[in-house]
């Protein structure tokens, strides 16, 4: 592990730890409104108060608590929807690569279509049609991002399929699903994990963007996207802190995950090395 990868891991671990420990780090309910403490600046400015280290928004909600809880939701949505895409994509990729023929052609054509459509357009359309909600959003994001995993897995399956140990298993009469699960899957896993690491930040940004547009997580769930949108409303009056901190927190996590994803890719696949 390189030094920068180590530093990134530590920073990311701190951010993750802070967001997971949100209920213990701040006793303030992120949704609690307090009109007496509306639009307080951060603690280090003159009018600020230590009770609200990063200030408050227009309805007196604590920005620090919102950042921590929002990060938590963001990671939750990101991780679970990546898990859904992973399960769906790996299954379809295994089927596609192993079955070949028409099934393969149809699945890969569908993957092409999915990859050519910007996810935010698809998500926007579906949310607009069927409404949103925390779990609906997770499933939606998970389902519309399967193609990249299916492609990766299919490629690896094609390479593994003709190897001797798979042929041997087939000759011994092992059924196709068992061959896929026992002999093919372990060999395609590394590539998939790398893809998942690269996908996670993109998915987190997608959730935040949808929430920013008011089409993501419902208002009673703290979200970084929603928090930035609230800050946008008071931006022109000079209340910068409401939108700056949530965005900064999200960006910090995404930078760390991106760095680690790059590092993971370099470490597992020398062809992709960005240093050379």
Partner 1 sequence: MALLAASAVVFLLLRLAGDPLELLVPPDASQADVEAMRRTLGLDRSWLVQYGAFLAAAVRGDLGTSFYHGVPALELVLERLPATLELILAAMAFSLAVAIPAGIVAARRPGSLADRLARGVSLLGISAPPFWIGIMLILVFAVELRWLPSSGRGTLAHLVLPAFSLALYRVALFTRLVRAGMVEALSQDYVRTARAKGVSERRLLYRHALKNTLIPVVTVAGLQMGSLFAGAIVTERIFAWPGMGRLILDAITKLDYPVVVAWALVVAAGFVTVNLIVDCVYSLVDPRVRLG
Binding mask 48-87 for partner 1 (x = CB under 8 A): ----------------------------------------
By CB under 8 A, tell whether 251 contacts partner 1: yes
Query: Looking at 28-36, 96-104, 139-147, 241-249, which segment touches partner 1 (CB under 8 A)?
Result: 241-249
Instruction: Write the CA distances from 95 to 31, 117, 186, integer angstroms.
Output: 46, 23, 15
| Per CB under 8 A, 250 contacts partner 1 | yes
Burial 115-140 (b: 16+ CB within 10 A, else e): eeeebeebbeebbeeeebebeebbeb
Among 18, 58, 91, 240, binds partner 1 (CB under 8 A): 240
Where residue 106 falls (left for φ over 0; alpha for ψ -120 to 50; beta otherwise) is alpha
Q: Is 139 in the site for partner 1 (CB under 8 A)?
A: no
Encode 10-70 in three state secondary structure.
Answer: HHHHHHHHHHHCHHHHCCCCCCCCCHHHCCCCCCCCCCCCCCCCCCECCCCCEHHHHHHHH
- 58: buried, middle or exposed (CB in 10 Å: 19+, 13-18, 0-12)? middle
Which one of 23-31, 152-160, 176-184, 240-248 is the stretch in contact with partner 1 (CB under 8 A)?
240-248
Mark the segment that binds partner 1 (CB under 8 A) among 76-84, 96-104, 168-176, 206-214: 206-214
**Position among 36, 118, 173, 270 found at the interface with partner 1 (CB under 8 A):** 118
Classified as helix, coil or strand, 175 is coil
* 117 belongs to the binding site for partner 1 (CB under 8 A): yes
Number of residues that bind partner 1 (CB under 8 A): 39
Q: What is the dihedral of CA 28, 29, 33, 39, to 10 degrees?
A: 50
CA–CA–CA angle 238, 18, 228 (5° rounding): 25
Which of these ranges, 51-59, 100-108, 142-150, 239-247, lies near partner 1 under the rule CB under 8 A?
239-247
Residues numbered 119 to 138 that lie near partner 1 (CB under 8 A) are 120-121, 124-125, 128-130
DSSP tag of 182: I
With CB under 8 A as the contact rule, which of the stretches 25-33, 81-89, 118-126, 137-145 interacts with partner 1?
Answer: 118-126
Interacting residue with partner 1 among 209, 218, 264, 267 (CB under 8 A) = 209
Among 68, 80, 86, residue whose Cα is nearest residue 248: 68
Q: What is the nearest approach in angstroms of partner 1 to the Cβ of residue 7?
A: 14
The alpha carbon torsion through 222, 225, 226, 228 (nearest 10 deg) reads: 120
Query: Residues interacting with partner 1, by CB under 8 A?
Result: 116-118, 120-121, 124-125, 128-130, 201, 205, 208-209, 212-213, 224-225, 228-229, 231-232, 235-236, 238, 240, 243-244, 246-247, 250-251, 254-255, 258-259, 274-276
């Amino acid at each position: 592990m390189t030094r920068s990868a180590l530093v990134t891991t530590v920073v990311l671990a701190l951010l993750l730890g802070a967001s997971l420990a949100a209920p213990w780090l701040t006793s303030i309910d992120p949704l609690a409104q307090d009109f007496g403490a509306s639009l307080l600046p951060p603690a280090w400015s003159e009018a600020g108060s230590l009770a609200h280290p990063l200030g408050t928004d227009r309805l007196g909600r604590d920005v620090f608590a919102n950042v921590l809880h929002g990060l938590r939701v963001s990671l939750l949505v990101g991780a679970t929807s990546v898990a859904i895409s992973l399960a769906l994509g790996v299954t379809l990729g295994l089927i596609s690569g192993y079955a070949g023929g028409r099934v393969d052609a149809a699945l890969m054509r569908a993957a092409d279509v999915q990859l050519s459509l910007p996810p935010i357009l698809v998500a926007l359309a579906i949310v607009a049609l069927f409404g949103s909600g925390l779990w609906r959003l997770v499933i939606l994001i998970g389902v519309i991002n399967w193609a990249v995993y299916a492609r990766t897995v299919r490629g690896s399956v094609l390479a593994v399929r003709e190897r001797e140990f798979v042929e041997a298993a087939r000759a011994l009469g092992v059924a196709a699903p068992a061959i896929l699960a026992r002999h093919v899957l372990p060999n395609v896993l590394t590539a998939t994990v790398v893809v998942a690491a690269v996908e996670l930040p993109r998915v987190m940004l997608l959730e935040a963007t949808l929430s920013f547009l008011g089409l993501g997580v419902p208002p009673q769930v703290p979200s970084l996207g929603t928090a930035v949108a609230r800050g946008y409303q008071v931006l022109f009056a000079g209340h910068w802190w409401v939108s700056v901190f949530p965005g900064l927190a999200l960006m910090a996590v995404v930078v760390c995950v991106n760095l680690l994803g790059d590092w993971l890719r370099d470490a597992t696949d020398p062809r992709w090395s960005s240093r050379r």
